Structure 1
């Protein structure tokens, strides 16, 4: 089950990425931040691919790269906005709905479908995120779902989850039509260029200083992007998308820990219970 270990690693690096982004968004414009971090993500992955030797792109390479780039650009804009206006431990859990979407989208796009035990594990992970979105003052089971639509940050992240439910399939197609480094590096480059153009049109004050003064931070986040991408790409090359992304969504557990330890967020007991449900779901997937 090597794929499982790499998926868990990807979850940790992904949670670390979101934690660093949330801290930086207090001081850096979101488009400047996206430009710098994805550029370093591209640079790291591209250099590794260069030393290894560039792969021969498959027939679906360019279509897959463009498709996942477009979807991820929209998702990043929404996720950055969500992180700005809501708690880390309330926004990130919404991404956990991605595996539920993937059960359908992966079957349609890739012909991949989990076993009945795997579906049960996926649903447990989704249920854990549902608990994580609840608060102590809620009275009925439907209250957490209603709160999603009252909390803009959570709603944005639910849309992001749906977008990832499509783009994750394209991510696997990128890997299958190149390798675990090169294709993702091109996606990062296209995203960086797009956000750079957006930042120019926004006419951000002291934009040169914003880029150059934050280069070390951009590099750190870019490393997290690279580590997360490689870990998940290895897992995707070995296992079906719904399983890999479900385990990757354990980033919620790490994000809850970061939210409590770094950002001093509250409601610890309920969030811990939701995280435990998600962990049990991951174990079920591992076993089945």
Structure 2
């Protein structure tokens, strides 16, 4: 009997935030491609023992492989954006924009899977957008109404925020498409299989042409293994949870990771502005909670 999707999703969120913080703390000198090898390649290797009872792949329909073929390049692109964003920019200014993922998911899942949200869910979308506005609220002045649009322009002007917003949109696509592929494979098998495919692809594309990358990763074995293990927990719980509920609702709760990320940023990296940014992040989480309800 699978656990209920809510505790699975909260565990998924905590594992993701912890992997982000560990990446920033221990692997700061790694490039985005090297981090992709750690977070996808090594994670796929760690999850591979779970594939021992995988059914014959020849029995899978062509639709499954079409889903997979579309997913892999999108996932790699999102990971490169994601790694560069959290490596080079403050977590508190980048991670909150991941809250936009369920906003994008609502439209994408409706088109691809026929999943719809309620009017109350639309209210949650408004709260998410309001939280994003408050995140950069110091750039707006009450006495000048024209400045109220500054936070939205900041999304375009700040590279870290812009990359993370693009990542959120891509993750909305991959989360929805992943559930589409799971129509043909059980979630406890699809997660390890999918990350195995991702891991093999990213290793062949990024690591094999650069043998020195393996030596660099081997110099930080415990840090690399810890990040990969946390990503493995995230991946496994993600697919177990998303199989049990609408994509928008699961992704909304998963974005609680942004609050964990803001706290990590303040406690571990001494990032300033916690008091100002934490309420904005809380408002974004309130929005995704409204979508959940």
Same fold (TM over 0.5): yes
Correspondence for 2:181 among 157, 165, 174: 174
Contact 1:128 1:274 in 2 (8 A): yes
How far has the Cα of 1:165 moved from its partner? Answer: 1.6
Task: Provide the residue aligned with 2:150 in structure 1.
Answer: 143
Task: Provide the residue aligned with 1:95 in structure 2.
Answer: 98
Q: Secondary structure at the match of 1:177?
A: coil
Task: Provide the residue aligned with 1:54 in structure 2.
Answer: 54
Segments of structure 1 that go 5 or more residues without pairing to the other structure are none
How far has the Cα of 1:232 moved from its partner? Answer: 1.7
Task: Provide the residue aligned with 1:213 in structure 2.
Answer: 219
Matching of residue 124 in structure 1 with residue 127 in structure 2: yes
Task: Provide the residue aligned with 2:261 in structure 1.
Answer: 255
Task: Indicate the RMSD between aligned Cα atoms, in angstroms.
Answer: 2.2
Q: Which of 32-41 and 155-164 deviates more?
A: 32-41
Q: Which of 116-125 and 95-104 deviates more?
A: 116-125
Contact 2:51 2:193 in 1 (8 A): no
Q: How does 1:1-288 map to 2 (within 5 A)?
A: 2-50=4-52, 53-55=53-55, 58-59=60-61, 60-132=63-135, 134-139=136-141, 140-196=147-203, 197-201=205-209, 203=210, 206-286=212-292, 288=293
How far has the Cα of 1:280 moved from its partner? Answer: 2.4
- CA 1:208 to 1:110, structure 2 compared with 1: closer, same or farther past 3 Å? closer
Task: Provide the residue aligned with 2:144 in structure 1.
Answer: none
Equivalences, count: 282
- CA 1:125 to 1:4, structure 2 compared with 1: closer, same or farther past 3 Å? farther
Segments of structure 2 that go 5 or more residues without pairing to the other structure are 142-146
Contact 1:46 1:182 in 2 (8 A): no
| Residues in 2 aligned to 1:264 and 1:135: alpha-carbon distance in whole angstroms | 21
| Residues in 2 aligned to 1:272 and 1:120: alpha-carbon distance in whole angstroms | 21
Q: Deviations over 1:2-59 (max 9, x none)?
A: 2222222211111112112222442223322321332332123221231xx2146643
Q: TM-score scaled by structure 1?
A: 0.89
| Residues in 1 aligned to 2:46 and 2:98: alpha-carbon distance in whole angstroms | 26
Contact 1:32 1:195 in 2 (8 A): no
